Amino acid sequence: MLSLENKIAVVTGGNSGIGYATAKDFIEQGANVIITGRNEAAINNAAATLGPQAEAFTADQSILADTKKLTAFIHERYKQIDILFVNAGITGKIGPFSEVTEENFDEVMNINTKGAFFTIQQFLPLIKDGGTIILLSSVNALSGMPGAIVYNASKAALNAFGRTLSRELVSRRIRVNTVNPGPVKTDILIKAGIPEEVVAGKDFAKSVPVGRSAEASEIAKLVTFLASDNAQFINGAEYNIDGGLFVHPLLG
Amino acid sequence: MTSFKDKIVVITGGNSGIGYTTAASFLEKGAKVLITGRNPGAVQQAVYALGHPAEGFKADQSDLKEVRRLADYIQGRFGTIDSLFINAGFAAVGPADALTEEEYDKIMNTNFKGAFFTIQYILPYIKDGGSITILSALNANAGMPGTSALSASKAALNSLARTLARELAGRRIRVNVVNPGVIETPLLDKAGLTEEARRFIADKTPVGRLGKPADVANLVTFLASENAGFITGAEYNVDGGLFVHPLIAS
């Protein structure tokens, strides 16, 4: 028996990277998946590749009006959903604290944090009692990576949402958990201006105990596990999936 | 469903509770499992109940001579294994000011020293690319009154796992910790937990119930599987949300 048989899932930012890989894994486990993304062509293309269990909806998760349209669409089409994977996010411009502009600040906080907040708020009536929400954060939420100050804070705030909601949504038996990946081979790093050869492996690999960056599909496996009934007693948890990177070696 | 076909898993303290259920879960997924326990009769009975291909070995994990015998047996019987689940544990509660040296030693020797040397002795027989999963408890990160030595022994385990995650990275051995909340096991019965206390715990736990051994087993088998290839040095709570601090809310 597949672990997500007959489940309906929404994946925000589902046309590439971790979102896409997770949509694919959800589908392989029997779910029907609605993926969202800002770029209409990219999101339609992704849904077509994912096949008949996937559906695309163009929405920018930082624009509340878009989310409203999305939830109206889903309500009409599916009535309710089982799984919400809040995945949409950006790193923003990487650079020192003193050079962060208000525009840089707002862009990251609006997508990663405010967008996630109101996506969840608007989706909540559509999530079945006993359903589940999974937030994609980052080990940056717990660390102090120089040059990523807004991104770090935007993710730390997301983890706080996860914890608080895990207690606030108890009466509806909705489990809320957060996944903190380490370095993953996705476009998000390239979009942040990190050179492709660095993303592709070598430099990151040196600092990660397992000696490499993650495939997006590996993050997907953990998200699928948390979304499944095998994780019924897991709530309010923050799971690192980082190849051991977050374990501080101090001077080692 | 992940397959553990041809995988060999060793579980310490596997004749009841979380260890037993995890053994059953690994077997269901195709693994060969060796369980250990202090009481030979109980181990034998559990092996029989688990069915083929479960095996048992009598060992008190706090007795290093027995741990050595276990490691030798593993080498002779299997050569190498894929996964080690450090599950054997002992709980005793009581205020710190009344804890005797004997009680202290029993807790630390079973939960930490036993686990430490079990890993050290078995390590040569864990395949490169294998995994170690350690059963800790939320107590490792909390301050629950009456559990001073118990909590410290678990905190030491979590620390051990973090260090091993980095030390064993060269052999691609992943090391992770699972911190359960309150789980319905014979340990609770042994501790004399009343119905009323169970209800109190269920009410305190956001998902509204105590955990079941299967809740933990699902996570342990996931962490030992190929699906968790990028997970090492991690501490995963499986506690129904109990560890999320509500501060001044009820």
Which domains does chain A possess?
A: 8-186+216-238 (3.40.50.720)
Confidence of residue B19 (pLDDT cuts 50, 70, 90): very high
Question: Do B212 and A230 count as a contact with CB atoms less than 8 A apart?
Answer: no
pLDDT at A188: 72
pLDDT in tens, chain A (252 residues): 789 999 999 999 999 999 999 999 999 999 999 999 999 999 999 999 999 999 999 999 999 999 999 999 999 999 999 999 999 999 999 999 999 999 999 999 999 999 999 999 999 999 999 999 999 999 999 999 999 999 999 999 999 999 999 999 999 999 999 999 999 987 777 777 777 776 665 567 788 999 999 999 999 999 999 999 999 999 999 999 999 999 999 887
Distance in Å from the first CA to the final CA of chain A: 45
Taking 60 as the threshold, does the pLDDT of residue B61 lie above it?
A: yes
Residue range B181-199: mean pLDDT, rounded: 88
Give yes or no for A185 touching B (CB within 8 A): no
The C-alpha of B245 sits at a distance from chain A's nearest C-alpha, in angstroms, of 8
pLDDT at B50: 98
The C-alpha of B25 sits at a distance from chain A's nearest C-alpha, in angstroms, of 12
Taking 60 as the threshold, does the pLDDT of residue B94 lie above it?
A: yes
Read off the pTM. Answer: 0.92
Mutate to test the interface with B, among A235, A240, A242 (most CBs of B within 10 A): A235
Burial class (CB in 10 A: 0-12, 13-18, 19+), B139: buried
Which domains does chain B possess?
A: 8-183+213-237 (3.40.50.720)
Evaluate whether B21 touches B216 at the Cβ level (below 8 Å). Answer: yes
ipTM of predicted complex: 0.88
Report the C-alpha gap between B122 and B229 in whole angstroms: 21
Report the C-alpha gap between B167 and B173 in whole angstroms: 9
Burial class (CB in 10 A: 0-12, 13-18, 19+), A1: exposed
User: Across the interface, which of B212, B228, B244 has its CB nearest the CB of A236?
Assistant: B244
pLDDT at A16: 94
